Structure 1
Amino acid sequence: MTDLSCKVLVLGAGPGGYVCAIRAGQAGLDTIIVEKAAPGGTCLNVGCIPSKALIHAAEQFHAVAEAATGNSALGITTASPKIDLSKTMGWKDGIVRQLTGGVGGLLRKAGVRKIEGEARILDGKTIEVRTAEGLSRISCESLVIATGSVPIEVPSLPFGSNILSSTEALSLQQVPETLAIVGGGYIGLEIGTAYAKLGAKVTIVEAKAQILPQYDAELSKPVLARLKALGVEVHLNAQAAGYENGVLRAKTAVGELKIAARKVLVTVGRRPVIAECGVADLGLDMQGRYIKINGKCQTSMRGVYAIGDVTGEPMLAHRAMAQGEIAAAVIAGEAANWDKRAIPAVCFTDPEIVVVGQLPEEARAVNAEAAVATYPLRANGRAMTLERTDGFVRIVHEKASGLVLGIQAVGAGVSEFAGEFALALEMCATLTDIAATIHAHPTLGETVQEAALAGLSKALHA
């Protein structure tokens, strides 16, 4: 057995873990990061990046397929298109390799030692790692738990064969003729929309009364309309019950549904990786199934920190990255603390959804003076030239002061608004701040200024 020691030991090289390790290394702390696979975690390897690559490829194919019908308003016609999904996946894998290699280079540049292997925590200062060369024991002064999360398995639909998690769905070599998706959240809808555009017959089964149940119906309505336009069947208030002989069964209030499906994608949520690597044996204080932390990402055990998905919702890569920076700064002796006002969330559905801050009902529940200003994309020139006018921008604000409490948008390409939305909340912007800021013309971003003007009763183009 090899014995190693370090100041900072980071368990998991996902977005939170590798950012924490880089920052610790940059601060001059002797740092080791342990990861059983390629750096980048779920997000880079089998999540965020691969899914966006598939979404882009699907959109390109769908545009060509639409042109082949001769119904393009732009006057474009093509021959009947085909897609070699295995080649698409090869292109996607190339992007992933380039990015994981980049992360590895950044870790080396920061002086971080990376050990590849499966780790198990022995105590708050020691872990054991099974590597290709054998066992290693690593002791540390500060331990950072960044072990991430994995898809939740439904008992009646165990993963394997034709029952897929998002990981397998992003590595298919052929477009399935029929695809059923269990779960109408953002992961299922993103992947389902992509495969619908690639030619699969997609059916969505959602147990709740609407898709994207974490958001209000106004935001999800354009997405539902687009799904139906793409030929996707959506069954709400339906509970998946089992799968056999190419048929998914689902229970509804009016009886059992039988859905033909060559493949079934199960996307009902994710759970933190805690028990698998010995985290549970530390006896840390918990909040439900997640590790409880304070504003410095400290757990109930001195010298043990936790960041990312193991600390609860929202399970977002950029939240984990922000926590990783805080944990590294605290370990380095800096006065860091979580003081973020907003964490943007994006659904890369079609159309996209971006949400920052309070939704209308959330704001009204705590502030009777909360008001909403909305501007439709159909009134925006750039949206018209892109042939996508479905959606809107919405600003939730205090009626008297104009203080921005939340900003949301649904529409093609609105994910790029996330930075402006988050900045507005972090800087405590008012409607006047946004309205008085010159936005370039012609851009989709003008809709944000127009929404602010509408909230001030000074609308120009609506």
Structure 2
Amino acid sequence: MKSYNVVVVGGGPGGYVAAIRAAKEGQTVALIEADHVGGTCLNRGCIPSKTLLRHAEVIEDIKAAENWGIHAGELTLSLDKMMARKDQVIKRLRTGIISLLKAGKVDVYQGVGTVQPDKTIMISANENQVIKAHSIILATGSVPFVPSINGMGEVSYHTSDTIFAIKEIPESIVIVGGGFIGVEFACIFQSLGTKVTVIEMADRLLPNEDPDASAALRKALQKKNITLLTRTTVASIGFGKNGKVVHVTDHAGNRDELICSEILMAVGRRPNLSGIADLRLKMTGPFVEVNDYLETSIKGIYAVGDLIGGSQLAHTASAEGSVAALNASGQRIAMNYKVIPRCVYTQPEIASVGLTEEEARKKGYQVKVSMYHHVGNGKALAIDRKDGFTKIIAEEKYGEILGAVLVGPHVTEMISTPAAFMHLEGTIDELASMIYPHPTVSETIMEAAASWLGKGIHS
């Protein structure tokens, strides 16, 4: 039986980063992956969706160019070529990860790893193998959550795992779930000419994000003629004369029938517990419970990523994977969740970091908020993306930056600026005094910070 210092179960953004980090710490490392390295993020999530969202952005620009005096002729779409490009991007990145693991001397095992309390792992593949570990990092990720709805067993539907294999552009689609997965797919399909309806049981889209950002997104999606049904639940699904039927009920008890070609279930994800049931780990609801050092209830076994809940973001999983790897290598480092950006790649983009205004007030901070609307920003006007804002949330007495919310073009790149200031414990004075390049949308960060201080020039 081969033995390793660290065995990582799962090769997604939490797992492969953990494996490489542990190897760089001088550990002997094995990585077990049942499917392709890169996990959901690379193969069925972040990367394919952002590739298609880039296509959607180009389609939107071509349509808008008519108003700019640029006439490109009749627009035609090839879903086959779009999907082929998506597959090329995935393949290239997957090959890169494999090369990194090989360069790091990480042994990669293909198969499902079943972990035992004595830290042996059986790998089911063509031939069952058993390996032994001193420390184990669980990074088995998550799978789409599909709620129990009448008719689900009789009508075909997609999840975020299957939608990327779609062969034809649907005439219409009903997306169940108005979180970040649902609204991103709404933008993709709307750009392709599909009639899109989004159903969300909460009172607004992106219910866990800033209300102003949610309102801005709602306005933008409605401009795209996307139908948004909030405070609405799905009672059942079935077949009708003209296609699939989604029966919905709104908050007032009114019922309606939505006819569509396709249904996408995008109500969230649940942890993938396959292969770890024998461990009988302590749980918090459906998630594996860990301490500040990402160690589970069994000493020497760590867990990261979607398996432990939290933000369920790829970069969070990677950060956790790195911390877990260091701890599995003999160090003692706590995971810091204070400054983790959250990004939604819709049109407009939404990015935030730290506390929302509501969260900050609930924690007892004396909060002061400033907001700068992009309608006054030269770059936003030049690129015809003026519908957005930059909001800074800070503690009133000392100017400690508590959070930031950005809506508009490129804000998923821009959010790193306020995040960096928060990481270095910078104040709002320092955020405002930095010199930003002009013309850029990033100048709105300076304007919002200066406005907070009562010193805004263009506010």
Tell me, yes or no, whether TM beats 0.5: yes
Question: What is the one-letter code of the residue matched to 2:120?
Answer: T
Which residue of structure 1 aligns with residue 351 of structure 2?
Answer: 354
Which residue of structure 2 aligns with residue 43 of structure 1?
Answer: 41
Which residue of structure 2 aligns with residue 170 of structure 1?
Answer: 164
Check if 1:439 corresponds to 2:425.
Answer: no
Which residue of structure 2 aligns with residue 16 of structure 1?
Answer: 14
2:106 is aligned, of 103, 112, 118, to 112
Deviates more, 1:358-367 or 1:304-313: 358-367
> Deviation above 3 Å: which 4+ runs of structure 1?
157-162
Q: Residues 73-152 of structure 1: matches in 2 within 5 Å? A: 73-132=67-126, 134-152=127-145
Question: What is the one-letter code of the residue matched to 1:394?
Answer: K
Check if 1:214 corresponds to 2:211.
Answer: no
CA contact (8 A) 1:295 1:337 kept: yes
Task: Report the TM-score when normalising by structure 1.
Answer: 0.95
CA contact (8 A) 2:371 2:390 kept: yes
- Give CA-to-partner distance per residue, 1:64-121, whole Å, 9 cap, x none: 2444xxxx33111122211110110010000000001100100111110001112222
Whole-angstrom CA distance in 2 between matches of 1:327 and 1:158: 39
Which residue of structure 2 aligns with residue 155 of structure 1?
Answer: 148
Check if 1:186 corresponds to 2:183.
Answer: no
Check if 1:229 corresponds to 2:226.
Answer: no
CA contact (8 A) 1:124 1:301 kept: no
The SS at the match of 1:361 is helix
Question: What is the one-letter code of the residue matched to 2:28?
Answer: D
Residues 270, 185 of structure 1: alpha-carbon distance in 2 compared, 3 angstrom cutoff: same
Residues 160, 330 of structure 1: alpha-carbon distance in 2 compared, 3 angstrom cutoff: farther
Alpha-carbon shift at residue 185 of structure 1 (Å):
0.5
- Give CA-to-partner distance per residue, 1:373-393, whole Å, 9 cap, x none: 111111100000010111110
Check if 1:335 corresponds to 2:332.
Answer: yes
The SS at the match of 2:277 is helix
Q: Point out where structure 1 has 5 or more consecutive residues left out of the alignment.
A: none
The SS at the match of 2:249 is strand
The CA RMSD measured in Å over matched residues stands at 1.4
CA contact (8 A) 1:124 1:303 kept: no
Whole-angstrom CA distance in 2 between matches of 1:166 and 1:386: 31
Question: What is the one-letter code of the residue matched to 1:374?
Answer: M
Residues 269, 124 of structure 1: alpha-carbon distance in 2 compared, 3 angstrom cutoff: farther
CA contact (8 A) 1:65 1:80 kept: no
The SS at the match of 1:170 is helix
Alpha-carbon shift at residue 418 of structure 1 (Å):
2.2
Whole-angstrom CA distance in 2 between matches of 1:341 and 1:154: 31
Question: What is the one-letter code of the residue matched to 1:386?
Answer: I
CA contact (8 A) 2:432 2:450 kept: yes
Q: Point out where structure 2 has 5 or more consecutive residues left out of the alignment.
A: none
Whole-angstrom CA distance in 2 between matches of 1:321 and 1:160: 38
The SS at the match of 1:144 is strand
Check if 1:281 corresponds to 2:261.
Answer: no
Q: Residues 240-251 of structure 1: matches in 2 within 5 Å? A: 240-245=234-239, 246-251=244-249
Instruction: Give aligned-pair identity as a percent.
Output: 34
CA contact (8 A) 2:406 2:415 kept: no
CA contact (8 A) 1:340 1:426 kept: no
Alpha-carbon shift at residue 282 of structure 1 (Å):
1.1
CA contact (8 A) 2:370 2:448 kept: yes
2:310 is aligned, of 292, 313, 322, to 313
1:200 is aligned, of 170, 191, 194, to 194
Which residue of structure 1 aligns with residue 257 of structure 2?
Answer: 258
Deviates more, 1:368-377 or 1:155-164: 155-164
Check if 1:57 corresponds to 2:74.
Answer: no
Alpha-carbon shift at residue 420 of structure 1 (Å):
1.1
Alpha-carbon shift at residue 260 of structure 1 (Å):
1.2
Question: What is the one-letter code of the residue matched to 1:179?
Answer: I
Alpha-carbon shift at residue 239 of structure 1 (Å):
0.6
Task: Report the TM-score when normalising by structure 2.
Answer: 0.96
The SS at the match of 2:456 is coil
- Give CA-to-partner distance per residue, 1:203-227, whole Å, 9 cap, x none: 0111111111112321111111111
Whole-angstrom CA distance in 2 between matches of 1:441 and 1:270: 41
- Give CA-to-partner distance per residue, 1:100-150, whole Å, 9 cap, x none: 110010011111000111222233401111113x11111111111100011
Question: What is the one-letter code of the residue matched to 1:353?
Answer: I
Question: What is the one-letter code of the residue matched to 2:6?
Answer: V
Whole-angstrom CA distance in 2 between matches of 1:290 and 1:158: 25
